Amino acid sequence: MAIVAPSAPCLELDDFTRADELCRALGWEPVPGRHLRERAGYLAGTDDMRLADLNAALGDDRIDGVWCIRGGYGMTRILDAVDMEAVRRRPKPIIGYSDITALLNGVTTVTGVVTFHGPTARAAMPAFSRRHFERAVATPAPAGRLERLPLADILVPRENRIVPLLPGVAEGPLFGGNLTLLQCLIGTRFFPDLEGAILFLEDVGEPLYRVDRMLAHLRAVGALARLAGVVVGRFTEMKREMGDGVFGFDEVLLQYFGPLRLPVAYGFPVGHIADQWTLPLGVRARLDAGAGELELLEPAVR
């Protein structure tokens, strides 16, 4: 398993140790990129360094998978030079989230190869995350219905609730990830075809009005018009910064998705949280928004 840093650098030595130990705990041999520990300002080395490590991993037949050690910022600077032909020739799992959303959607859109929105290699992996990670990445069978976070009390913590916003059932290929990065891909060849798709979204540290603005941009380019359904994950550390009134997050979601009359639920374990699902992009899924359930209908690996 190649460990690469195509975006921001790790600032703690323990991140590298954890990535190595986590790989071995999963039964994989970690292969750190040549420039994994480099830093260039807020980037994990220069563009050439980060691209070299990523393309080397994609083109090496001895490497069975590519795991990004963290997100941050920087993937969009090198996305247009990623070796897509190497991905087509020798498909392998590419794993990460947040800033890595650009790489995942770009690869799956251009090559048709399934990629994985899941934990980064430096993160601790609780049992809930590990079960979903291994089912998606290492099992050549459909993962089936994804389990929800265990609820220890009748009074369910707000952050653990899955809220049916617009009940209904939909099937389609999964695409999505970090909303900010999806917006960055608009107008490029890396933006996914969302016709008939189930779109999943998450973000961190974005004020509600900016989430609103990004959804408005997606709507303006027609990206929302032909969706099959929407899985809204966690928008952690969301701020309300407008002084002239406040919408609720559910109100904003309804304003964009209500007129489309498609199944939508929010609060799924997707995003900048410890207990998270691993979702394969490009795999057909079934969303039951009323029940707050998502089911993977196809295997992600063979």
Residues with catalytic roles: 98, 202, 272
CA distance 245 to 237: 19
Residue 246, C-beta contacts closer than 8 angstroms, at least 6 positions apart = 208, 240
Let me know: does 104 contact 32? Beta carbons within 8 Å.
no
CA distance 120 to 130: 12
Let me know: does 204 contact 181? Beta carbons within 8 Å.
no
Q: What single DSSP character describes residue 141? A: S
CA distance 226 to 94: 27
Pairing of strands 293-296, 284-288: antiparallel
CA distance 168 to 116: 26
Residue 164, C-beta contacts closer than 8 angstroms, at least 6 positions apart = 265, 289, 290, 291, 292
As given in the structure block, the two tokens for residue 216 are 């408005």
